[in-house]
Amino acid sequence: AQKITQTQPGMFVQEKEAVTLDCTYDTSDPSYGLFWYKQPSSGEMIFLIYQGSYDQQNATEGRYSLNFQKARKSANLVISASQLGDSAMYFCAMREMDAGGTSYGKLTFGQGTILTVHP
Amino acid sequence: NAGVTQTPKFQVLKTGQSMTLQCAQDMNHNSMYWYRQDPGMGLRLIYYSASEGTTDKGEVPNGYNVSRLNKREFSLRLESAAPSQTSVYFCASFKIGHTEAFFGQGTRLTVV
């Protein structure tokens, strides 16, 4: 069974500094995808970044980068130059293929990390 | 293009009442999901439908049923609501080959 673990319930960072949010996963599926979502206090789920299990390079999207270490089964999110608006809950998630390999199966989320950016 | 639409946005139920949460997507996505999110917690998978005509249990299926009515619609039913089902419910959808799951705005359900 797949599992996502986020061990940091809360993180604090000074504005303009970088911060790393940890995520480890466990799956027996050779084809999987890893995601990070942001959930501000308003409640909506905002997609940040995606990494496929066969991607050779780490994904980057603007100030977000995903530090993918396949052998260690980790997919940490790095936010560079933090902004006050980055204060939110952050979720790591993983999807696997369904048994037939033609659709996506489970999409499982971690417990989340609350990030607070201080001015 | 509305994306993923959930109805209703808010609902208060009495213990023992039943209701159906509706979810529809207009993006021709194959896979659809229902989650619940309790205060300060992550999203826990209730049920999912990998493709039209199939449904599978997730992490917390007890007390819920689902129907994948067609490719667009995936409904979640509470047959006899309990206070423990007070939560925010999210529907999501995904298309193979895409790198983003799209979420609805959520349904805030309170069972008294």
What would the pLDDT profile of B27-70 be if each residue is shown by its tens digit? 999 899 999 999 878 899 999 998 888 999 999 999 999 999 89
Measured distance CA(B56)–CA(A105) in Å, rounded: 9
Measured distance CA(B53)–CA(B48) in Å, rounded: 11
Q: Indicate the pLDDT class of residue A93, thresholds 50, 70 and 90.
A: very high
Measured distance CA(A75)–CA(A69) in Å, rounded: 6
Closest CA in chain A for residue B99: A50
Give the lowest-confidence range in A17-21, A32-36, A63-67: A32-36
Select from A47, A50, A105 the Cβ nearest to the Cβ of B50.
A105
Q: Indicate the pLDDT class of residue B1, thresholds 50, 70 and 90.
A: low
Contacts of B22 (CB under 8 A, 6+ apart): B6, B7, B73, B75
Going by C-alpha positions, the residue among B44, B56, B34 that lies closest to residue B104 is B34
Closest CA in chain A for residue B103: A45
User: Chain B partners of A43 at a C-beta cutoff of 8 Å?
Assistant: 88, 105-106
Closest CA in chain A for residue B30: A103
Give the lowest-confidence range in A28-37, A46-55, B64-73, B90-99: B90-99
Tokens of B64: 């819920």
Residue A7 has pLDDT above 70, yes or no: yes
User: What distance in Å separates residue A104's CA from the closest CA in chain B?
Assistant: 6
Whether A103 and B45 lie within 8 Å, measured CB to CB = no
